[in-house]
Amino acid sequence: MNILVLCTGNSCRSQMAEGYLRHFMGNRANIYSAGIETHGLNPRAVKTMAEDGIDISQHTSTHIDEYMHIPFEFILTVCDHAQEQCPIFPSSAQRLHHNFPDPAKAIGSEQDIESAFREVRNQIKVFCQTLAQTMLAKD
């Protein structure tokens, strides 16, 4: 099963979701993430995920065009902008959507920003765990 996680810049939310889906799905699925733009991997996302034992430090920020040849069973958009701008894939992929706040837009003290990243990470973790359980139950 091929699953694509898509967001605007492929720097935070989709990277976190890719990390958790890889963790929860194990070798039962191929997980990819991409953006409709590429903003580079956000170091705060890497740090926040590492706090929860998930290493995404080797992930890369990938543009959606690089995956157009892959037959996806599921395309998960994790922000409204990506859902609205998502290109048409030549497949029958089931589309799923959940809008998560963008932690990269958090403002305030360093502690406030770290807190925003952790909050979004935790939301993504719960969502991905539930999604993985649902998908594995159908398998």
Q: Which one of the listed residues 86, 93, 96, 106 is annotated catalytic?
A: 86
Mean pLDDT (the chain, rounded): 90
Phi-psi region of 49 (alpha: psi -120 to 50; beta: other; left: phi over 0): alpha
- Judged against a pLDDT cut of 80, whether residue 126 lies above it is answered with yes
The pLDDT of residue 56 is above 80 = yes
Marked catalytic residue, from 4, 5, 7, 36: 7
The pTM assigned to this predicted structure is: 0.91
Active site residue 79: yes
pLDDT tens, residue by residue, 4-40: 999 988 889 999 999 999 999 999 999 999 998 888 8
Distance set, CA 36 to CA 14, 33, 62, 84 (Å): 11, 10, 9, 11
- Architecture (CATH level 2) of domain 2-138: 3-Layer(aba) Sandwich (3.40)
Q: Is the pLDDT of residue 125 over 90?
A: yes
Q: pLDDT exceeding 90 applies to what percent of the chain?
A: 70
Task: Check 46, 79, 82, 124 and give the catalytic one.
Answer: 79
CA–CA–CA angle 119, 63, 27 (5° rounding): 65
7 is catalytic: yes
| Phi, psi angle pair for 76, to nearest 5° | -110, 115
Annotated domain spans of the chain:
2-138
Query: Which H or E run contains 45?
Result: helix 43-51
